[in-house]
Structures are given as structure tokens and as C-alpha cells.
Amino acid sequence: MRRTFTVSSLLLLAACSSMQTTALVAVPDNIKASANETLARVVPAKGVQIYECRASTNKAGTYEWAFVAPEADLFDRSGNKIGTHYAGPHWESADGSKLVGKVKSSAPAPGDGAIPWLLLAVKSVGTKGSFSDISSIQRVNTVGGVAPKGGCSQSAVGTTERVPYTADYYFLSAK
């Protein structure tokens, strides 16, 4: 477990060091923006994906790590903290504007050991502000964040693991 944390930490540090130079990437067709949307801003994130050990819903007598929630800080492209990302999923700006999202589609991350890339439909649920006019979010450039491989058993039910991750969230708005 300690080795996994060390490797994850190194990946997280490498991803953070490139926050100021985040490049736009080509996304798979199934998570592309609609024709009436345009990129409003790139929002790098650094945090954890939280998993809980639970009894498997698919196979009696087995146990699995179930996703609970993200917990991350959001940054502008210069590396200044501008908000947080948490359960819901929510993205909340320091100015009070807030979005809640729902996954529309996903694609495997190109790198091993990274959570999937996503397209999420979002709606504003906070005050008017910098996040208010966002219609969709793409999660791309993911590093880390996948569920632990082992350690989930009957005796571990209810325990949680916080797995480091980074991602870029492409905030899209109507043209």
C-alpha cells in the first residue's frame, strides 16, 4: 500500500507541476462538446477520489471498492485556487456560483491507472457568477484516482480509501 501511495504521489506532483501549461487535448467522439457549445475555460483540479469497501452488488459473498465522491481543489490556468469539486458532483467557485452535474458519457483514459474521461451535463444551482453560464463539462487529462486493487474484504467493510488524482475540467458554454 505504501508503494502505491508513493507512485500516486509522484504522478500527482508531476501533474501539478504542469498546471500552468495545461494543453487542450483531442477528446473521443462520445465526449465531444455539442455543436452549439464552445470552450469557456479550462479548470485544472487536484484532489482525491474517495472509495468505500462494500459488499458487492453483483456477486454474493464478495466485496469491492465503491466510488463515493470526489474531493478536489479547482485552479485557474495560472495555478490560483478558484473553487472546489465535491459530491453531487458539484463544482463551486469562490464567488458562490455552483454547478451540479450528471454523467452523459464516458471514455477510458488513455493512460493506465487513470479514471475515465467524462462528458457531464450541468446546471447552475448557486448564485450568479463565473460558473453560472456553463452548460457541460468534460473531464480529461486524468491521472490516478482509480479504485484500490485489493484490501477490500468482509473485515474492511465501511473503510474508505482516498486515492490522489488530477484532471482538467473543460467548462463549456452555449455559443
Identify the CA nearest to 158 among candidates 65, 69, 48, 49: 65
What is the model's pTM?
0.85
Domain spans in the chain, listed from the N-terminal domain onward: 2-25+40-174
3-class SS at 102? strand
Interval 38-50 mean pLDDT? 97
pLDDT in tens, 13-43: 344 433 444 568 999 999 999 999 999 999 9
Q: Where are the beta strands (DSSP E) in the chain?
A: 37-55, 63-75, 81-86, 90-93, 98-107, 117-124, 134-144, 160-174
Mark residue 86 as left, alpha or beta (left: phi above 0; alpha: psi -120 to 50; beta: remaining).
Answer: beta
